[in-house]
Amino acid sequence: MPSLSISCAQNLPRDSQMKMPTGPKKKGADHDAPSITKVILDYALQRYDIGYDKTLAKGFLVEKGKNPKSLYLDSPQLKYELQYSAIETGELLKREQVKEVVDQLQVMCYMKGQEHTVYMRVGQCRNGDVEIDLGDDSDRRVRLCKASGTWDLISAGGQVMMNRSDRMEALPVPSPEGDWRLLLPYLNMDEDLKYLVIGYITYLLAFPRNKDVVFPVLAVNGSQGSGKTIFLNWILRGFIDPSTSGVQRFPSSLHNMAISAQSTYLLLYDNITRISDDLSDDLSAAATNTSFSTRELHTTSNEALFQIHFPVVLGGISGFIRKSDLLSRTLSVRMLPLGEDRASARTFVQDLQRDASAIYGGLLDLAASGLSRIDSITPNTPERVYDFSAWLAAMEEAMGAEGLQEMYSLNHAIAQADAVTDCAPANAIINLACCLDDEVWTGTPTELLAEMCNLIEPEALKQRDWPKNPESLGKKIDHLQGLLHTQKVWVGRTTRGSQRQYEVYRMPGCLWQRDSEEEEE
């Protein structure tokens, strides 16, 4: 597609006075006068340049401002703009006329619009610098300079095409004299987790939703009275992607998550009790990059494409992530109970807002410093999300802190062990393996289920995830294999003659041991 754009004759402000018809045509008026749709189309092309987002196959208009900002043709804001411009001429645009103008703009964007990669909140320049949209009325941005490891606040000259949704709110205006350490007292968790959380926040500030970026999933566990909601809403959302979306309830489908991701950079969900296996797979895919298409409304053949790639934070009491593939991509944080002398939520937020400018400036210092180091870093203990392991290695240098990579590896091991403890079927299989010492147990699905029932507390048999019959046991084992393998316990199918059987044994390096009291009995 040729890289052309239609430039306007003049840059018209929102309230500009154009020479348009000022009222309805009078009887006997010139029949060759342009129609209202033609007038509004010309007005749009004078006020905007046109562009095309090849990734989403969508046209957009480019607002002529200090920093480039797109306006998708299917956005409600554009329809309001068109209708309001018609009202200023003394005319009213009907729904069909709005559609006619948008359809013509779509054709022009597709044929002649300049192709852009469109970002939301965080975008990457061609030279590797990163721009962060502050979301304020002045269209200001922060530019993280990769070469120098510093950042600048820019009011013009942005190199990244950004898109804003109606839900976007403004980030704090960063202080040049920033100090990220001011955030530490506001984090209600163990000391090592505080540094991992700061590593997570800076990672999301430094890496946009590019195809080659993998996002770790942040799982926040905390009981009532631990300040979890404040942490999610005022710290994570407040310093990464402020939005009126706030913290949402966990959706029932990937489609709903994809819709939310079109209006926010960071997705935040709380009050999760359990994540299904299918949604666990979807979240794992979203961390890396995937897409799906669905039928457009009122059509039989046209497809609407949804890009599934976003950072996501999941909040709950505990044990809501059980599938190994998702756990291996997760950073798990447990909030501590707040004491009786805790400050009120209102006081906490007021204090945080007082320090927000200095905190955000300090976080940008870390993000810029890490960005300048990341290409020369090789992590010592890489985990599944290799890029985040490398980022923590860069943060060790930027923060002057040691051991972040080892903390992250230990965090993974603890999360996997906790998932086993919270899962009754996995617990039973581990108990069986521990009873074997170095032997191999072999038996049919019926025999395996019977052994598991004998090695678990009776209350566990009533749990939702306990297999009710040998057939459901086979499906459960398929999902638990990865989790059990992280604990060095093997369970898998084997064939003896024509009969399907299972094998269970402890693998080399397994740390699980049979309880000493059981051995004495």
- The CATH 3.40.50.300 domain(s) of the chain lie at 180-409
Alpha-carbon distance of 295 to 300, in angstroms, equals 7
Alpha-carbon distance of 74 to 283, in angstroms, equals 27
- The CATH 3.90.1150 domain(s) of the chain lie at 423-520
Alpha-carbon distance of 238 to 170, in angstroms, equals 9
Beta strands across the sheet bearing 217-221: 248-249, 267-272, 312-316, 217-221, 330-334
Q: What residues contact 447, with CB distance under 8 A and at least 6 apart?
A: none
Q: What residues contact 341, with CB distance under 8 A and at least 6 apart?
A: none
Could you tell me how many helices (H) and strands (E) the chain has, helices first? 16, 20
Structure tokens at 256: 């709903």
Q: Is the dihedral of CA 469, 472, 474, 479 positive or negative?
A: negative
Structure tokens at 385: 């999300």
- Element containing residue 334 per DSSP (H, E): strand 330-334
Identity of the amino acid at 208:
P
Q: Is the pTM of this model over 0.75?
A: yes
Report the CATH number of the 180-409 domain.
Answer: 3.40.50.300
Are residues 312 and 269 in contact, defined by beta-carbon separation less than 8 angstroms?
A: yes
Are residues 255 and 306 in contact, defined by beta-carbon separation less than 8 angstroms?
A: yes
User: Which is nearest to 253 in space by CA: 279, 277, 289?
Assistant: 279
- Each residue's pLDDT, cut to its tens digit, for the chain (521 residues) gives 333 333 333 333 334 433 444 444 444 444 555 788 888 898 888 888 999 988 778 899 987 767 898 999 988 888 888 898 889 888 888 889 999 999 999 999 999 998 989 999 999 999 999 999 999 999 999 999 999 999 999 999 999 999 998 899 999 999 999 999 999 999 999 999 999 999 999 999 999 999 899 999 999 998 888 889 899 999 999 999 999 988 999 998 888 888 888 889 999 999 998 898 889 988 998 888 776 666 554 444 456 666 788 999 999 988 788 888 899 999 999 999 887 666 788 899 999 999 999 999 999 999 999 999 999 999 998 998 999 999 999 999 999 999 999 999 999 888 888 888 888 899 899 999 998 878 899 999 999 999 999 998 888 888 888 998 988 998 888 888 888 888 889 999 887 767 789 999 999 988 888 764 444 44
User: What three-state secondary structure class fits 134?
Assistant: coil
Q: Where does 374-423 have alpha helices with state H?
A: 386-399, 404-421
Give 142: exposed, middle or buried? Use CB within 10 Å, 0-12, 13-18, 19+.
buried
> Running DSSP on this structure, what letter comes out for residue 233?
I
Give the Cα-Cα-Cα angle 275, 281, 286 (nearest 5 degrees): 105
The CATH number for 423-520, chosen from 3.90.1150, 3.90.550, 2.60.40, 3.30.450, is: 3.90.1150
